[in-house]
Amino acid sequence: MEAYRGFEQGPIRPPSEADSLLLRLTRNCPWNRCSFCSVYKKQKFSLRPVEDIIRDIDSIHAQTCELQQGGTLAIRKLSPEDESARHAARSWLAQGMTSVFLQDADSLVLKPEQTIRILQHIRKRFPSVQRITSYGRSHTIARISDSQLQEMADAGLNRIHIGMETACDQLLDMVRKGASKDIHIKAGIKTRQAGIELSEYVLTGIGGEEFSQQHAIETADAINQINPDFIRFRTLHIRDSLNLFENSDEFAWQRPTDLTIAREVLLFIENLDNITSCVKSDHMYNLFQEIDGILPQDKQRLMEVLQAFIEMDPEKQACFQLGKRLGHFYKFSDMDIPGRLTRVQTVCAEVGMTPANVDAKINTLIQKWMREGMW
39 or 67, CB closer to ligand SF4? 39
Q: By rule CB under 6 A, what string of x and - marks binding of each residue 21-60 to ligand SF4? A: --------x-xx-x--x-xx--------------------
DSSP one-letter code for 332:
G
- 331 φ/ψ angles, rounded to the nearest 5 degrees: -130, 170
One residue of 105, 174, 238, 266 binding ligand SF4 per CB under 6 A: 105
Q: Which of 104, 113, 121 is closest to 54 using CA atoms?
A: 121
Q: Which of 10, 366, 31 is closest to 205 using CA atoms?
A: 366
| Distance in angstroms (rounded) separating the CA atoms of residues 206 and 49 | 36
29 or 231, CB closer to ligand SF4? 29
52 or 165, CB closer to ligand SF4? 165
Shortest Å, Cβ 169 to ligand SF4:
16
Q: Which amino acid is at 265?
A: V
**β-bridge pairing 278-280 and 292-294:** antiparallel
Q: Which amino acid is at 238?
A: I
By the 10 Å C-beta count (0-12 exposed, 13-18 middle, 19+ buried), 255 is classed as: middle
Helices then strands, counting H and E runs in the chain, come out as 13, 10
Q: Report if residue 237 touches ligand SF4, rule: CB under 6 A.
A: no
Please count the other Cβ atoms lying within 10 Å of the Cβ belonging to residue 333: 9
Do residues 285 and 235 lie in contact, with contact meaning Cβ atoms separated by under 8 Å?
A: yes
Q: By rule CB under 6 A, what string of x and - marks binding of each residue 117-156 to ligand SF4? A: --------------------x-------------------
65 or 242, CB closer to ligand SF4? 242
Q: Which of 317, 323, 325 is closest to 346 using CA atoms?
A: 323
| Distance in angstroms (rounded) separating the CA atoms of residues 123 and 360 | 50
Alpha carbon 313 to chain centroid, angstroms: 32
156 or 163, CB closer to ligand SF4? 163
Shortest Å, Cβ 366 to ligand SF4:
19
Shortest Å, Cβ 125 to ligand SF4:
28
Q: Is the peptide bond before 11 cis (omega within 30 degrees of 0)?
A: no
Shortest Å, Cβ 105 to ligand SF4:
4
Shortest Å, Cβ 287 to ligand SF4:
21
Q: By rule CB under 6 A, what string of x and - marks binding of each residue 151-180 to ligand SF4? A: ------------x-----------------
Size of the site for ligand SF4 (CB under 6 A): 10
| Positions in the binding site for ligand SF4 (CB under 6 A) | 29, 31-32, 34, 37, 39-40, 105, 137, 163
